[in-house]
Structure 1
């Protein structure tokens, strides 16, 4: 008879702890929630507007891209 799932899970957790790891619970946004995509779009537009108004950022990004291009040659 196969080992019950809870025993396999417990053994796996014990092995991970023995390897110096610990369990961690992480809460993340629910991408299935109604309105999630619209809120992402709204925030992205706000960031894009702020970035477009920031000349220093644009110069920095242009210099970074030019630096990447020169590294690939």
Structure 2
């Protein structure tokens, strides 16, 4: 797999669950056009996983409306 930069990630608004607590062991997600992005909150400059909305739905339920393209 070859790492590729997604231009929309530079301005993505990352968020994490309010249930994650303050331990720092969390994942964050951001919605960019047509994609749901997920990263490790301890490594915000590290790798990002990109999921099509259909895959995110299968994993977590309905995607945010702004991810549906």
Fold shared by both chains (TM-score > 0.5): no
Question: Which TM class, normalised by the smaller chain length?
Answer: under 0.3
Of structures 1 and 2, the one with the larger relative CO (CA 8 A, separation 6+) is: 2
Structure with the bigger percentage of strand: 2
TM-score, scaled to structure 1: 0.20
TM-score, scaled to structure 2: 0.21
* Larger Rg, first or second structure (1 or 2): 1
